[in-house]
Structure 1
Amino acid sequence: MFETLFVKGLRAEGVLADLLLAEGVDVRDLETEYPIRVLNRCVDVACGHLFPDLPLEDARLRVGRSFVQGFVQTLMGRVVAAGLPMLGPVRYLKRFPDHVLMDGSPLRVTLVQVGERSFRMEFRNEFLVMSGFMTGVLQEWLKLTHTEATITTERHSPMSFDLHIAW
């Protein structure tokens, strides 16, 4: 995840690489995994550096989109992206909670279909999850299905929120 986001997606070098190093992440020598709190700190460091004039959630959305853009630069990402238009937005969204779990993520995500082209994605966790980041990830993946979705956030607590997705 760190390579996809910071090396491929954001191309962290120079000042940004130094800021990430101060958080314990050397983009030139990445560990195999990092705690979620390190990811959160690094996302916010990138937000502050790359998008200092944006509200934090808007900056997190852009960083989430960069994550997907970095992933599609990998071999597996290109294969996944090539199949998304055939899969379509509904089937993609239904698979999203499983994809989050496949990468070893401790996220708890439930998808509820509320209409033909509207869904509620429920995030219930015991740690901070960035709704803006997840919105950016979903928007970019849905864009690859040729769908321009509107996503709004209903936050219940720092660790719990719903994303309302419609197109």
Structure 2
Amino acid sequence: MQGLEGSRELGAGRQPATQRRLVFEHTVDGLFRFSLRSRLSSQAWNALRGVGIDLSKPLLPAYSYETWKRALELTVADLYPLVPREEGWRQLGREVVNGMVHTVLGRAMVGVARLLGPLRSLRRLNNTLRSADNYVESRLTELSPTSCEVWINEVMGQPTYYAGILEACIGLAGGQRARARVVSLEGPGARLHVEWEE
């Protein structure tokens, strides 16, 4: 199911029993209209339409987790058929961030990240991730001024995707040679170690 169709308005103070996981329009826009606009094959564009992301029409306010995950799987298969799957997902994570910087919200976030620098930006990572969707959460453990451990609650079975996101975010905040590696998988989530140079 795509977009917000089927959602119901809740009264003030009431929460849904199970919150529907949604990815917001600017995340989809940043990746597909800015970062990958001329790089996907025509077959991939048709496949995206088939799973519910039709870029020939105005985007919906949000897309379901299932639609987003399937769109990313199709994209990795189309863009990175000759690299190991984990590396393809890492590169796609970087592309998501690179595309977001062209959106209104992304430009504002980049400005703040550059002012804060890598470590202080990572301290705000949970807010950054929550600006892209309504279900990903993170916790940060600082290990040194240039390294942290990051727990993320949901990685879609592809933790290197989030490694790529972390590396790109640190780069935008001014960190050099950022590298993230998966420490452990924890249910649907993962723990990653990230380090960089000033």
Partner in structure 2 of residue 67 of structure 1: 96
1:52 aligns with 2:81: yes
- For each residue in 1:39-73, what CA deviation from the matched residue of structure 2 results, as whole angstroms up to 9, or x when unmatched? 11111100100110112221111111111111112
Tell me: CA distance 1:129–1:33, structure 2 relative to 1, closer, same or farther (3 Å): farther
* Cα distance in 2 for residues equivalent to 1:108 and 1:129: 15
Partner in structure 1 of residue 36 of structure 2: 10
* Cα distance in 2 for residues equivalent to 1:113 and 1:24: 39
Whichever residue aligns with residue 65 of structure 1, its letter is: R
3-state DSSP class of the match of 1:149?
Answer: strand
Whichever residue aligns with residue 112 of structure 1, its letter is: T
1:25 to 53, 75, 89: 53
- For each residue in 1:74-110, what CA deviation from the matched residue of structure 2 results, as whole angstroms up to 9, or x when unmatched? 2332333234332100100000112222444211211
* Cα distance in 2 for residues equivalent to 1:23 and 1:114: 41
3-state DSSP class of the match of 2:54?
Answer: coil
- For each residue in 1:130-167, what CA deviation from the matched residue of structure 2 results, as whole angstroms up to 9, or x when unmatched? 31221111111111122121211023245121110112
Higher helix share: 1
Whichever residue aligns with residue 49 of structure 2, its letter is: L
1:164 aligns with 2:190: no
Q: Contact conserved, 1:128 with 1:158, CA < 8 A, in 2? A: no
Following superposition, the deviation at residue 112 of structure 1 comes to: 0.9
1:146 aligns with 2:179: no
Partner in structure 2 of residue 100 of structure 1: 129
1:88 to 112, 117, 123: 117
Identity of aligned residues (%): 22
3-state DSSP class of the match of 1:165?
Answer: strand
3-state DSSP class of the match of 1:44?
Answer: helix
Aligned length: 166
Tell me: CA distance 1:128–1:104, structure 2 relative to 1, closer, same or farther (3 Å): closer
Q: Which runs of 5+ in 2 are unaligned?
A: 1-26
* Cα distance in 2 for residues equivalent to 1:25 and 1:158: 28
Whichever residue aligns with residue 138 of structure 1, its letter is: L
* Cα distance in 1 for residues equivalent to 2:188 and 2:75: 21
1:39 to 68, 71, 75: 68
Q: Contact conserved, 2:91 with 2:161, CA < 8 A, in 1? A: yes
Whichever residue aligns with residue 28 of structure 1, its letter is: S
3-state DSSP class of the match of 2:62?
Answer: coil
Q: Contact conserved, 1:119 with 1:164, CA < 8 A, in 2? A: yes
Tell me: CA distance 1:109–1:102, structure 2 relative to 1, closer, same or farther (3 Å): same
